[in-house]
Amino acid sequence: MNIALRFSLALGLAAAGPAAWADATTPGFYLGAAVGKAYADLNKGDVTGPLIDVGFPVTGSSEDDDDTGWKVLGGYQVNRYFGIEASWVVLGDYSINANLGGANPGQVKSELDLGGAFNLGVTAGYPFTDRLSAFAKLGAVFWDADAKSTANLASGSAAAKDGANGSDLSFGLGVAYYLTDHIAVRGDWDRYQIGGDADTDVNLWSLAVQYKF
């Protein structure tokens, strides 16, 4: 192999290596979509407690505390370690059922629809290689919730609706792996601290596909 050929190969390898690294870890915009499982920290006592307080004999209760969750996201990687990310998140529907006995038996069902929420935060990560990185997230979630309570008793039925909104803390962790210089898959855990009258924190475990420009 002559000197000119060796020199040409060396230049080619040097050019190829940094280009792959740059596309995966240097500044740039990205978009993505994720789907997964959401779990709400429901408290059955929030429903059964008030019923017991007014004299209803509660004979049992159950909860539906998980649902499908998804999000669309976009962000900007400021440098190898820090970024900004925004997402629109759908956190699902949840319910608590209370069974009543006594002279007026029946069931009371309390439902919570968290609908859509907007999340804005920062990311701090570490690139282990040009393809694999892990990151933490901290931000604020702006949420909207609808609540409905339905009573179906021997004496009749009744229903009531209410709504609430607010902003609270969000945080999470994630791992991303670039399949190509632009396409990555990532796994996220996010916790949204939903306060106010909703008072139900939600954990979302999701898998995303992300495209970096």
> What is the amino acid identity at position 50?
P
- Under a CB-based contact definition with an 8 Å cutoff, are residues 133 and 25 in contact? yes
Q: Is the dihedral of CA 44, 45, 47, 48 positive or negative?
A: positive
Check whether 208 has a pLDDT greater than 90. yes
Q: What is the CATH number of the domain that holds 132?
A: 2.40.160.20
pTM: 0.82
Total domains in the chain come to 1
Q: What is the DSSP letter of 198?
A: T
pLDDT tens figures, 112-152: 998 889 999 999 999 999 899 999 999 999 999 998 989 88
Q: Contact 106/76 with Cβ under 8 angstroms?
A: no
Nearest to 30 by CA among 66, 73, 71, 63: 73
First-to-last CA distance in the chain? 39
Q: Which domain, by its residues, includes 199?
A: 3-212
DSSP state of 128: S
**CA–CA separation, 58 and 101 (whole Å):** 6
pLDDT in tens, 169-187: 999 999 999 999 899 999 9
List of residues 6+ apart from 6 with CB closer than 8 A: none
DSSP tag of 5:
H
- The predicted-structure confidence for 84-123, as pLDDT tens digits, reads as follows 999 999 999 999 998 888 888 888 998 999 888 999 999 9
